[in-house]
Amino acid sequence: MHAPVTHRTIDVDGIQTFYREAGPPDAPVFLLPHGYPCSSYEFRDLMPALGDRWRLLAPDLPGFGYSAAPEGFSWTFDGYADFLERFTHVMGLSRYALYLHDYGSQFGLRLALRAPERVAALVIQNGDIYEDVMGPKYAMLRAYWSDPTPEGRAKLAANVSEEGFRDEFVGDLPAHLAERVSPDLWKLHWSLMDTPGRRENVVTLFEDQATTLDWFAKEQQYLRENRPPTLIVWGPHDGYMPEESARAYLRDLPDAELHVLDAGHWALETSLGEIVPLVRDFLGRVHTS
C-alpha cells in the first residue's frame, strides 16, 4: 500500500522550492508545512503511508532543506505565510487538509484564515496557539521578546547549532523514545542550515515569533466560527507544548478528536505506527473529495 514519493523543484515567485509529493494528482490534497529546525523530510514516512488515497504535498520552506534562501525574502511569520499561500496558488490547490505542527501550524492557520472555504480538515500535532499553557522551554524566548538585548539575541543564536538541533529533536524525550530517533535528523538539517546567512535568518525568525502571540486570538476565533473537522494527535513529552497545550484546543473545538500518545514534539519519528491509522480513519471520514 505504500505509494512512491517524488522529489521536485518548482519556481514560486522566483524562489526555487523543493517539495515532496505522493499520491494520485486528482486525489484529495493533504498539505504538509514543516516545523523548525526540519524540512519536508519530516514527512518522508507519513507520505507513502497515505499516498494511496490522498495527494500529499510537502514543500521545503525558503531557507530550509533544499529550497533556496533568497536575498530580500521576509524572514518573518508573515513572510512564510505569504509564501505558503503562493505555493498553493502555483500548485493550483483549491481545497486541502492541513497538517499543523510547530512553526508550520502558524503558517497553516494563517493560510486557513485567508481562505477558510478551502480547508477541508485539520490534523494538529504539537502546534500551540494558547499562550496560557505554553511550556517551560519558551522561557528564554519570552525573556528576549520582553527585553530584546544583544546578549539575549546571542543566546538565541547559540541555539542554532548542531547540538541545539539535537536538543530540539530529542532533548525532552525519555530514553525509550530518544533511541528511536536517528541522528540523521539533526545532522542532515544542521548540514543544510550551517551557513552564516541561513543561521542569521533563523534568529530573525525567532525574534519575529513574538508576533505570533497576537495571532492566537484570531486563530482561536477561526476555529470557533468555522469548526473545521479536526484530529489532534499529541506528544506530551514536549517542553514547549505539553499535554495542556493539546487540551486547550477543546475550548474552541469541543468536537475535535484528541489522542495523547507516548511521544514528544516530533511524534512522527517515534510513533508513526500509531499516527497513520488515526489519520487514515479521520481523513477517510472527512476528506474524500
Per residue in 245-258, pLDDT (tens digit) is: 999 999 999 999 99
pLDDT of residue 274: 98
| 154 CB-contact burial (10 Å; exposed 0-12 / middle 13-18 / buried 19+) | exposed
Q: Residue 1: is its pLDDT beyond 70? A: no
How much is the pTM? 0.97
Q: Give the pLDDT band (50/70/90) at residue 289.
A: confident
Query: Which residues lie across from 56 on neighbouring strands?
Result: 22, 30
Q: Residue 225: is its pLDDT beyond 90? A: yes
Task: Give the chain's domains with CATH numbers.
Answer: 5-136+215-286 (3.40.50.1820)
- Please check whether residue 278 is in contact with residue 45, taking contact to mean a CB–CB distance below 8 angstroms: no
Rounded average pLDDT over 135-154: 96
Sheet containing 55-59: order of strands: 5-12, 15-22, 55-59, 29-31, 96-100, 119-124, 230-234, 257-260
Q: Give the pLDDT band (50/70/90) at residue 157.
A: very high
Q: Give the pLDDT band (50/70/90) at residue 277.
A: very high
Q: pLDDT (tens digit, 9 = 90+) per residue, 80-129?
A: 999 999 999 999 999 999 999 999 999 999 999 999 999 999 999 999 99
Rounded average pLDDT over 130-148: 96
Is beta strand 230-234 parallel, antiparallel or unpaired with respect to 119-124?
Answer: parallel
* C-alpha to C-alpha distance for 208 and 77, rounded to whole angstroms: 7
Query: Which amino acid, 1?
Result: M
Q: Residue 41: is its pLDDT beyond 70? A: yes
Q: Name the residue among 88, 131, 81 with its Cα closest to residue 103.
A: 81
Rounded average pLDDT over 184-190: 97
Mean pLDDT score across all residues of the chain: 97
pLDDT of residue 179: 97
* C-alpha to C-alpha distance for 127 and 240, rounded to whole angstroms: 9
